[in-house]
Every structure is written in structure tokens, then in C-alpha cells.
């Protein structure tokens, strides 16, 4: 069955969200930071972002990258 352009974009968008969520979780675990510690230091609910079901704002992603000392390019290099 062929997907419409909209269905294709929706499917790939969901897959991309899951990849971004996994990359955020990987960074957090590599740096041995709990979700609670991250929230206390940044006031960003990383648990919601790691679920992969919500959209992330670029500003929020920039703050996450800054916290973990990784560039945006470096973040997306793994995706």
C-alpha cells in the first residue's frame, strides 16, 4: 500500500522524534545524570522529552546540548 505524502511525513516525523528522544537519553546516561538532577539544575522535564511523543523546541534542545557540552551538530551526527 502506498502512503500519501502526509502519511509518509507523519511516519518519518514520529521516527525522527524517537531518534531525538533516544539521543537525549543516551547523553544523559553517558554523563550519569538522573532525570531528577537534570530537572533540578535546568527546570527542563527531560523525562517528557525522552518519551519521544512530544515535540521539542530548538531552544530547549540547545539548552540540553549546552548542559551536556555537545554542539547541535554533534547531537545530530549520531541520528
Render pLDDT for 6-49 as a digit per residue (tens, 0 to 9).
Answer: 777 777 888 899 999 999 999 999 999 999 999 999 999 999 99
Number of neighbours of residue 30 by Cβ within 10 angstroms: 10
Separation between Cα atoms, residue 42 and residue 57, nearest integer Å: 15
pLDDT of residue 54: 87
Is residue 1 over pLDDT 70?
Answer: no
- Using the CB atoms, write b or e for 5-19: b if 16+ within 10 Å: eeeeeeeeeeeebee
Are the C-beta atoms of residues 60 and 20 closer than 8 Å to each other? no
Q: What is the CATH number of domain 17-75?
A: 1.10.260
- Which region among 44-48, 50-54, 58-62 has the lowest average model confidence (pLDDT)? 50-54
Amino acid at each position: 500500500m502506498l502512503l500519501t505524502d502526509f502519511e509518509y511525513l507523519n511516519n518519518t516525523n514520529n521516527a525522527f522524534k524517537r531518534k531525538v528522544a533516544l539521543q537525549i537519553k543516551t547523553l544523559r546516561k553517558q554523563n550519569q545524570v538522573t532525570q531528577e538532577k537534570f530537572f533540578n539544575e535546568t527546570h527542563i522535564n527531560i523525562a517528557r522529552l525522552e518519551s519521544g511523543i512530544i515535540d521539542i523546541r530548538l531552544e530547549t534542545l540547545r539548552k540540553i546540548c549546552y548542559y551536556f557540552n555537545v554542539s547541535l551538530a554533534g547531537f545530530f551526527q549520531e541520528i
